[in-house]
């Protein structure tokens, strides 16, 4: 009998606003904080049981030295284990988790710590012109996150908007989804739902030290009418500041083990990872890649979409859940509407923020804790990444 692979710890920092409460924190510390609390999720520290570390991160430039950032984090945690740092854009932490499973399946190790981290407030402006000296003329300082785009390709905001256009998703629906994301977050926060996944963090900004214990971006007073008035950005048809997440700071972490190891350690398997998959499409397909990846992971697992009790599709833009759900519903309007009700039930990145390298694990743990509150079930989470790669994961609680 093959072993099962289980999650035995999952925590994250609250997600900070751009230039907000976490913006002056060292990103390595954000990652270490999420990891530390993930390792103590079940009441005792299991650091010494970790065999391998994987760290996903999207914009290494935000670290003082953007090389082996994972190893830097591990050492801060006192974890002298082999650490792989990888980048598949927003897919990074889920790719890291998928890689961790490879090692578990190969029997190379039986436990791993997986971290996703991003600090968008600390991304420096960059120039390639200075090293050689500047003889005459101004120096251009490029901003890597404004807009988020890749050389030779459209900004992702345009790709998202074009996807919505292609699949006939009206702008009002994108905007309504966005406002609902905030509303759902507040309903969930009021019910105390995020206390399971968030590890409050002591933060410094300027001269102030304070404890941040909730996501900073959600707005309770946003209205559909007001959001609809916002102008489109970067030449997109429908993407506005209202139907996109902000630029955020935060980290998330998960501990995975073989079920055998977990039980030997007396740890409760919080969720079983049923299957994972990565998928690609043409570089502009970011809005629908979650759908293709979900289809792939379902087929690998031999499951149907109908079996899923919950779905998370990361709100890189409101277009992602709406376009992807429409594809999953094969364009059937009623089925589409029905499917949407299962997606991001506690709000998504538009409300709580999208620290790009941390969101993949965040959607996974948000879904896992919700399934646990509901007494169990199956869920699939998917995220899109730059130049159209997708990651998806099916978990069972």
Partner 1 sequence: MSEFTYSLDQLSSVATLSINTAGAVNTIGQRFLADMEMAIDRALLDRVKGVVIVSGKKKSFLDGANLKEIVTGATPAIIRHVTLRYQEALASLAKRPFPVVALLDGQTALGGGFELLIWACDHVFATSSSRMGFPEVNVGLFPAGGGTQILPKLIGLNAAVDLIANGRVNPAEYYSGSGFLTICTTDQLKSSAIEWIESHQGIVNRNYDPDFQESNPLSQEEKTKILTAAKSRYGISPYRPYVLAALDSMEGGLSLPIDAAAKRDIDLFVPLFSNPNSRNKIDLFGLVTGLAPKLVRVDPFHVVKVDKIAVIGSGLMGSGIAQVAAEKGINVTLVDVDAETAQTAVERIGQTLQNLVDRGKWLPRRREAALGNLGWTADYNQLKDIPLVIECVFEDLDLKQRIRAKVQEVNPNVIFASNTSTIPMAEISEGSTRPEMIVGMHFFSPAPLMPLLEVIRGPQSNPAVIATAVALGRAMGKTVILVNDGPGFYTSRTFGSYVMNGFRLAELGIPPWDVDLLALRVGFPQGPLHVYGTAGGNVIYHAGSFMATRFPDRMNVPRTLANMFEAGYVGAGKPSFYEDYRKMVPDRSAEEFITRANGIPTPTHEEAQDILILGMVNEAFWCMSEGVLRDYYSMDIGAVLGIGFPDCWHGPARYVSLKGVREVKRRLNELSDKFGMPGLAPAPEFDLLIATGLDSNLI
Binding mask 151-170 for partner 1 (x = CB under 8 A): -------------------x
List 75, 86, 173, 241, residue binding partner 1 (CB under 8 A): 173
330 lies in the binding site for partner 1 (CB under 8 A): no
Q: Count CB neighbours of 26 within 10 A.
A: 14
| Known active-site residue 354 | yes
Cα–Cα distance for residue pair 378/374, rounded to 1 Å: 11
In the numeric block, which tokens belong to residue 119? 């600090």
Stretch of 88-96, 127-135, 331-339, 386-394 lying at the interface with partner 1 (CB under 8 A): 331-339
Catalytic residue among 33, 52, 90, 167: 90
Residue 10 phi, psi dihedral angles, 5° rounding: -160, 120
Q: Is 90 a catalytic residue?
A: yes
- Tell which residue, 85, 150, 118, 370, has the closest CA to residue 245: 118
Using CB under 8 A as the binding rule, whether residue 337 contacts partner 1 is answered as: yes
Site for partner 1 in 207-236 (CB under 8 A): 221-226, 228-229
Site string for partner 1, 373-392 (x = CB under 8 A): --------------------
Closest of 63, 43, 37 to residue 249, by C-alpha: 63
Minimal distance in Å, beta carbon 107 to partner 1?
43
| Number of residues counted as binding partner 1 (CB under 8 A) | 27
84 binds partner 1 (CB under 8 A): no
Q: Closest approach of Cβ 225 to partner 1, in Å?
A: 4
Q: Which position has the token pair 């049981």?
A: 49
Least distance in Å: CB of 242 to partner 1?
12
How far apart CA 344 and CA 367 sit, in angstroms, is: 8
Nearest by Cα to 389 from 319, 304, 301, 285: 285
Q: How far apart, in whole angstroms, are the C-alpha atoms of residue 189 and residue 242?
A: 21
Q: Which of 381, 387, 397 is nearest to 315 (CA)?
A: 381
Give residues in contact with partner 1 (CB under 8 A): 170, 172-173, 176-177, 179-184, 221-226, 228-229, 322, 336-338, 340-341, 344-345
Residues forming the active site: 90, 354, 384
């Amino acid at each position: 009998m093959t072993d099962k692979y289980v999650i035995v710890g999952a925590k994250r920092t609250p997600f900070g606003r751009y230039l907000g409460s976490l913006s002056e924190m060292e990103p390595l510390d954000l990652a270490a904080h999420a990891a530390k609390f993930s390792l103590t999720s079940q009441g005792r520290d299991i650091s010494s049981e970790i065999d391998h570390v994987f760290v996903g991160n999207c914009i290494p430039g935000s670290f003082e030295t953007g090389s082996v950032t994972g190893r830097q984090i591990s050492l801060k945690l006192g974890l002298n284990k082999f650490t792989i740092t990888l980048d598949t854009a927003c897919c990074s932490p889920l790719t890291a988790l998928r890689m961790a499973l490879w090692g578990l399946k190969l029997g190379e190790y039986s436990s791993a710590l997986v971290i996703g981290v991003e600090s968008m407030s600390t991304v420096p402006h960059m120039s390639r012109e200075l090293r050689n000296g500047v003889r005459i003329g101004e120096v251009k300082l490029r901003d890597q996150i404004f807009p988020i785009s890749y050389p030779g390709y459209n900004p992702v905001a345009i790709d998202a908007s074009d996807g919505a256009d292609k699949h006939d998703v009206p702008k009002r629906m994108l905007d309504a989804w966005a406002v609902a994301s905030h509303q759902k977050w507040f309903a969930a926060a009021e019910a105390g739902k995020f206390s399971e996944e968030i590890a409050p963090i002591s933060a410094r900004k300027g001269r102030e030290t304070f404890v941040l214990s909730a996501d900073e971006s959600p707005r309770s007073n946003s209205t559909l009418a007001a959001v609809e008035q916002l102008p489109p950005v970067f030449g997109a048809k429908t993407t506005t500041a209202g139907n996109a997440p902000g630029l955020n700071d935060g980290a998330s972490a998960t501990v995975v083990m073989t079920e055998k190891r977990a039980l030997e350690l007396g740890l409760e398997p919080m969720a079983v990872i049923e299957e994972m998959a990565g998928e690609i499409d043409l570089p502009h397909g970011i809005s629908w890649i979650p759908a293709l990846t979900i289809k792939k992971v379902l087929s690998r697992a031999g499951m149907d979409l109908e079996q899923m009790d919950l779905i998370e599709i990361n709100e890189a833009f409101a277009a992602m859940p709406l376009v992807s759900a429409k594809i999953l519903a094969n364009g059937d309007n009623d089925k589409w509407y029905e499917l949407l009700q299962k997606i991001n039930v506690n709000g998504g990145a538009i409300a709580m923020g999208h620290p790009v390298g941390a969101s993949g694990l965040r959607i996974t743990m948000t879904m896992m804790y919700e399934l646990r509150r509901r007494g169990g079930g199956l869920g699939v989470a998917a995220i899109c990444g730059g130049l159209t790669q997708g990651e998806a994961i099916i978990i069972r609680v």
